[in-house]
Structure 1
Amino acid sequence: MSDYKYVTYSWDDAHAASLDPVDRLVYRSNILGADQRITNTGGGNTSSKITENDPLSGDATEVLWVKGSGGDLRTSKRANFSSLYQDKLLALQKVYDAQPERGLKTPAEDAMVGMYTHTTFNLNPRASSIDTPLHSFLPGKHVDHMHPNAIIAIAASKRCEELTQEIFGGTMAYVPWMRPGFELGLAMQEIAKAQPDVKAIMMGQHGFISWDDDDKVCYTHTLDFIEKAAAYIEAKYEAKGGDAAAFGGAKYQTLPEADRHTTFAAILPWLRGQVSQFKRFVGTIQDDEKILRFVNSADAPRLAELGTSCPDHFLRTKIKPLYVDWNPQTEDIAALKAKLADGLAAYRKDYAAYYEACKHDNSPAMRDPNPTVVLIPGLGMIAWGKDKSESRVTAEFYNCAVEVMRGAEAIDEYIALPQQEAFDIEYWLLEEAKLRRMPPEKELARQIVLVIGAGSGIGKETAHRLVKEGAQIVCVDLNLAATEATAKEITDQYGLGIGVAGTGISGCGPAIGLAANITDRASIRTMLDQVALAYGGFDHICVTAGIFVPSDTTGHIPDEKWALTFGINVSGSYFVADEAAKTWREQGLRGNLVLTTSANAAVAKKGSVAYDTSKAAANHLVRELAIELSPLVRVNGVAPATVVKGSAMFPRDRVIGSLAKYNIPYTDDEETESLTSKLAQFYADRTLTKAPITPADQAEAYFLLTSQRLSKTTGQVITVDGGLHEAFLR
């Protein structure tokens, strides 16, 4: 085929010709993985059998380069591929044949995975995939194993074997569902021997695999098979009535976008609290046309209950989602919450029963029984994960499952993987071992932190400090451009995460930038609702926003400036706390509120009467809020001394004014950085530590109070002033 409608042809002959054989494999993998109609995030694998020189003997030897365990085809590099002696891999068949308990799901099958290390070429440290035998035992020099929705729709159909013959004729063979591993590789080897003209195999309820001795031909074969499957499905789909008849037709109507978002904002923090009883989750919503077509449909309850088919899908989405039969036209939010609560209780009970019915003597302990996908008519889908990236991928995978169900129902009847087979994948000891090898989660993993004042200075530094510990960061500032810039710095460094471009799923990553005026309750509530839509809720808030208005030379400050100072430094913090408290109580999850006071709160001095008294009030606000919000929320404060470098409170004119006030020599044409350094050192010399105080010093205090390191501390103010003895407690 030269013209593709359902996949994207991306092969570039000139670029491929410039690459060595391994890099050609990486290139082929990347362009296959870049099209989500070809394979899902993290799914599928590719390989090439390449002649290399043995590092010990110098002799030419055939090496299987195959995408290793973990990783994503779209982003894989050379380091993501295992390299193994092909002759040694083939020799492992004798080892397997000698096992007394060879066969599917036996200890002998799992033991073979450990044998792959004995076949490693050139000490390559990349762990081999469980799919390695599939690539080794097939005859083609180049092999692609993909998970396209169109192919899986056939694989998950009741008449899969018949449909494979009907659609592809004799060009694609069929193998029934087998768990990936050695036995499946042997079965494919037998098929290839018996049918030498076949260059692809349909893998029941899984995906497909294709091969050729030329890598470009292998690539185009892969696209051709997917294109043919998709075209067949779409023709049948349209013949049955298309979108209007999909999934049995619409049962419910979609709420208008504004109403959807209002409803999501009202339920998400509460729902996050409900599903986070074991471990905290970060949410992603999806409410585009495709997912709404499914959740609104007559067949959604039946299909959702059947669960997903492809193992790659349900490892993310669990064996099935929670579908809530709520009528968006006749029922209110209170009714939705009640149905969600009942649905969650039933889901947990059902999951526990599934575990008890399917577990083995050596199965790992039951995992979190809460759903990772929630489907609500009229609204859409909510997906949960340990961070934003994972929740987006969870959403992506359930989108794939929906497309599979759509295709399977159009051509036949959708069937899910039997529960025992699903359990044996979900609780596979090899999968459990992989989970245990993963590094421990960071200190603020799974937690969402709002940093108010993140556009500059201490707030910006705090945002950067907290994201290092795994937090999802909501950067908030009156200046939207500034806070978006901070969020972009974070996402540029840490990435948006993998997944879901162009799927209608909210696309924020580990940080977003929002605007809010903390002296306006409505503005604060709008911002908190936006946070709910982005992440599902929040855990902690750091308020670093503040204002300093100096008195004039007579000691006077205008009334409106006095009011503004108290409005931002005191009332603003209270309004944030009061509005956030509603969300904290809805979630029922413990959190932290950290306010910014100042060493000036304890030290009276000339020229800053409004600022100093507002910070003294902020000190007591910390204590009052600690009482009001206990025991759910700990409230503490950070009291900086003068932070000059990087602070929005010290523009050039204020720095010059302070230098003049303290008779510190300077020139009018001196660089701002030089002026700032002089003033910072002057302030440092007044402290016991004699070192300038930086935003990073303050950010460390916010981290401590946001983390669990001071988990029994509340109602306190931590000073970060370099040792300003005038501010000592007395």
Structure 2
Amino acid sequence: MAPHHEAAALLARSHRLGSDPRNTNYAGGNASAKGTDTDPVTGGEVELMWVKGSGGDLGTLTEDGLAVLRLDRLRALVDVYPGVAREDEMVAAFDYCLHGRGGAAPSIDTAMHGLVDAVHVDHLHPDSGIAIACAADGERLTAECFGDRVVWVPWRRPGFQLGLDIAAVKAANPQAVGCVLGGHGITAWGSTAEECESNSLYIIHTAETFLAERGKAEPFGPVIEGYAALGSTERRERAAVLAPVIRSLASRDRPQTGHFTDSGVVLDFLASAEHPRIAALGTSCPDHFLRTKVRPLVLDLPPSAPLEETVARLEELHIAYREEYAAYYQRHAEPGSPAMRGADPAIVLIPGVGMFSFGKDKQTARVAGEFYVNAINVMRGAEAVSSYAPIEESEKFRIEYWALEEAKLQRLPKPKPLATRVALVTGAGSGIGRAIAHRLVAEGACVVVADLNTESAEKVAEELGGADRAVAVTVDVTSEEQIAAAFRTAVLAFGGVDLVVNNAGISLSKPLLETTAKDWDLQHDIMARGSFLVSKQAAQVMIAQKLGGDIVYIASKNAVFAGPHNIAYSASKANQAHQVRLLAAELGEHGIRVNGINPDGVVRGSGIFAGGWGAQRAATYGIEEDKLGAFYAQRTLLKQEVLPEHVANAVLAFTGGDLTHTTGLHIPVDAGVAAAFLR
């Protein structure tokens, strides 16, 4: 069924506004439309409002993301409103105003949209509008910028009273097209979707022009000597070294996924003389600080500082940050306040290098970074024409530890077993590696898809959902340089690495007398040497993170089973099998668990078997190649073929949280090969 024409116009407008970051940030703001429809109960007309529900995003809003309410009931809430002290009670009352099933859950801004006397209403968080809203003399600047077409509304926490305030402002100012909400954002209205959108864009673009024309040239002050950005290559290399260390700091209370940004906006801000003062003031717009925390952790050393000094200073600053955050909580917490959610920073700023942002998953971490970029833009605009003056710390606390915000957090689904974990899987472009990558992402992990075949790696990364879930890297595991580059990509994409699967391999099936030294070296370079190099790089990152970790070797039943015509392959698998035991013994003190999986021949989807190994093994056993999987199955105790998904299941068994005290173990995934039983 097609949406009501006003709802359809609302969706189209939302998509246009939400697709441009100058208008609003991800999941920020909301929009509404009012119209008349037929009441299916009475057959008469009923006035309705469609408004973006809680937690949605304007740019990708669908009809399912709209809350649908009856306007007569929503407006009647004014008569039972108990006042500011109890305004939170009105959120529950919105549920009694829903029309039919009501669609999405109504947001805290529902009253603003319902009480303002306009068919269409937009509430947005553009950088230019917030810059004026967060300027020390924002009310005067609003008048200078817009005359009487846009009205100033002093800061008030979002809620029913703010809706009443804006409705009163509109009624008292018939010439106005919208308002600037102090410390918050903008609201615009119109009698049609087109007029409302035009008014929103008028406010945004007029504010942009005002800031550009009236603003001073260096709102953040001159560049500090020695704090300019490093060159691109040096900058990213230093960021890759620091990333695991910084992630360990941001994960003291609970593990976090990371994101790195070295955009010009961030680097220019961190090179400026005023950045320490301004960053300490914290972000202002509620949409910003709910994602970035009230302020970032800022390193107070130049990028030329020795690495050891930088790491030590970050540790000191982190201790101070945690103490300051706990003091902030204690200053403002009341008996009924939610418990402190954690004292680690969500944003860490490194002059000359960039910004690290953190969250419960990659998208949350990325969006936190995007919001801090918005905050920098706001600070620049405010400082250009006035001075940046965010809302009071006590007001920030009231929002951060708002009972309604806590209730929203409690409604979130339980994290998946591998949430926040970052995995790197070699040979992930096909077969077992691809199946493992899919299973890890399905269980909440982010995955670096490493493969010698670039096209295959990119295809799998795309299958997994793109950059917020997976990235592709081209890796020849015989190359230390390519392995190091892959881990640099991993830590810059996701903050670090927690789980490594050594799966890359080839197989040369030849009798002893036909196996050349070149065959032997190639087989061992890829599997024995390659897994050693990958594990060494993984251990370096994991030790720096101080979060433990998992290294899993995809060995083989051939590591213990002696079969004919397989000397190079089986010997290299035996080498891998003993690496598991050796590394488990060495890395246990760091909380790093090392385990192995011994599959039988996995034919279906296998790049190795398709590349000639299948034909060789089939010839050895005197069968047709397409019967090889069934042949392997019949020689097992369970008479079942081993598939890539079965190996992936074993990887999850090791890493999903149940086998927390297991290391140095090999799990057979061979449907029962008695000759390969472990002893």
TM over 0.5: yes
Residue 279 of structure 2 corresponds to residue 304 of structure 1: yes
Percent identity reads: 41
Residue 513 of structure 2 corresponds to residue 558 of structure 1: no
Query: 2:165 maps to what in 1?
Result: 187
Residue 588 of structure 2 corresponds to residue 630 of structure 1: yes
Deviation, structure 1 residue 659 = 3.5
Deviation, structure 1 residue 452 = 0.9
Query: 2:266 maps to what in 1?
Result: 291
Deviation, structure 1 residue 682 = 1.1
Query: 1:109 maps to what in 2?
Result: 87
CA contact (8 A) 1:555 1:607 kept: no
* 1:354-407 alpha-carbon deviations (Å, 9 max, x no partner): 000011110000111111111121112111112211111011100111101111
Deviation, structure 1 residue 49 = 0.6
Q: Structure 2 matches for 1:122-137, cutoff 5 A? A: 122-137=100-115
AA aligned opposite 1:92: L
CA contact (8 A) 2:116 2:167 kept: yes
RMSD, aligned CA? 1.6
Deviation, structure 1 residue 653 = 4.4
More deviation, 208-217/653-662: 653-662
CA contact (8 A) 1:55 1:122 kept: no
Query: 1:510 maps to what in 2?
Result: 469
* 1:159-190 alpha-carbon deviations (Å, 9 max, x no partner): 11111111111111121000111111111222
Query: 1:700 maps to what in 2?
Result: 649
**Local SS of the residue matching 2:186:** strand
Distance 2:489 2:172 in 1: 59
Residue 259 of structure 2 corresponds to residue 259 of structure 1: no
Query: 1:359 maps to what in 2?
Result: 333
1:146 aligned to which of 124, 145, 149: 124
1:205 aligned to which of 179, 183, 188: 183
Show structure 1 runs of 4+ deviating over 4 A.
Answer: none
CA contact (8 A) 2:510 2:566 kept: yes
Distance 2:129 2:630 in 1: 68
**Local SS of the residue matching 1:585:** helix
Deviation, structure 1 residue 517 = 2.5
Query: 1:615 maps to what in 2?
Result: 573
**Local SS of the residue matching 2:269:** helix
Q: 1:712 to 1:49 in 2, by over 3 A?
A: same
Deviation, structure 1 residue 652 = 6.4
Aligned length: 675
Distance 1:151 1:274 in 2: 34
* 1:7-50 alpha-carbon deviations (Å, 9 max, x no partner): xxxxxxxxxx9982211111111111111100111111000011
TM-score by length of 1: 0.90
Structure 2: state its 5+ residue gaps.
Answer: none
Residue 30 of structure 2 corresponds to residue 45 of structure 1: yes
Deviation, structure 1 residue 711 = 1.2
Distance 2:107 2:3 in 1: 28
Distance 2:171 2:152 in 1: 14
Distance 1:64 1:18 in 2: 13
Query: 2:39 maps to what in 1?
Result: 54
**Local SS of the residue matching 1:692:** coil
* 1:644-703 alpha-carbon deviations (Å, 9 max, x no partner): 111111126443444444333x5xxxxxxxx43x21111101111112111111111111
Query: 2:555 maps to what in 1?
Result: 597
AA aligned opposite 1:418: E
Residue 396 of structure 2 corresponds to residue 422 of structure 1: yes
Query: 1:711 maps to what in 2?
Result: 660
AA aligned opposite 2:376: V
* 1:477-515 alpha-carbon deviations (Å, 9 max, x no partner): 222222122112112xxxx4xxxxxxxxxxx32101112
Distance 2:205 2:595 in 1: 59
Query: 2:78 maps to what in 1?
Result: 93
Distance 1:715 1:65 in 2: 58
Structure 1: state its 5+ residue gaps.
Answer: 1-16, 497-507, 667-674
1:65 aligned to which of 50, 59, 67: 50
Distance 2:212 2:98 in 1: 44
**Local SS of the residue matching 2:219:** helix
2:636 aligned to which of 687, 693, 696: 687
More deviation, 694-703/516-525: 516-525
Query: 2:292 maps to what in 1?
Result: 317
**Local SS of the residue matching 1:455:** coil
CA contact (8 A) 1:307 1:321 kept: yes
* 1:448-467 alpha-carbon deviations (Å, 9 max, x no partner): 01111101110111000110
Deviation, structure 1 residue 534 = 1.7
More deviation, 521-530/453-462: 521-530
Distance 1:616 1:163 in 2: 74
CA contact (8 A) 2:609 2:615 kept: no
Deviation, structure 1 residue 520 = 2.9
**Local SS of the residue matching 1:30:** helix
AA aligned opposite 2:219: A
Q: 1:652 to 1:255 in 2, by over 3 A?
A: closer
1:648 aligned to which of 584, 604, 607: 607
TM-score by length of 2: 0.97
More deviation, 250-259/680-689: 250-259
